Structure 1
Amino acid sequence: MSDTAKPIYVVVSGRILQPEKIAPYAEASGPLAQAAGLEFLGHSKPILLEGEWPYTDGMVTIERFSSKAALENFWHSDAYQEAKKLREGVVDIDFIVAVEEPEGDIV
Structure 2
Amino acid sequence: MSAYLIIQATVHDWDKFKLYTQAVPPLIKKFGGHYIAMGAPELIEGKSAPKSIVMSQWPSCEAAHAFWDSPEYAEAKKLREGTGEFNIMLMDGLTQTPLE
Task: Name the TM tier (shorter chain).
Answer: 0.7 to 0.9
1:62 corresponds to which residue?
55
What is the CA-CA distance between 1:70 and the residue it aligns to?
0.9
CA distance in 1, matches of 2:28, 2:18: 15
- Where do 4+ consecutive residues of structure 1 move more than 6 Å? none
TM-score, normalization: structure 2? 0.83
CA distance in 1, matches of 2:49, 2:42: 12
Can you list the C-alpha shifts for 1:38-76, whole angstroms capped at 9, x where unaligned? 211111211122234452xx1112210111111111110
Structure 2: tracts of 5 or more residues without a match: none
What is the CA-CA distance between 1:28 and the residue it aligns to?
2.1
Equivalences for residues 27-106 of structure 1 within 5 A: 27-53=22-48, 55=50, 58-100=51-93
Structure 1: tracts of 5 or more residues without a match: 1-5
Report % sequence identity. 26
Aligned residues: 97
Alignment match of 1:13 (pick from 8, 28, 33): 8
Can you list the C-alpha shifts for 1:62-95, whole angstroms capped at 9, x where unaligned? 2101111111111101111111111011121111
Cα RMSD (Å): 1.9
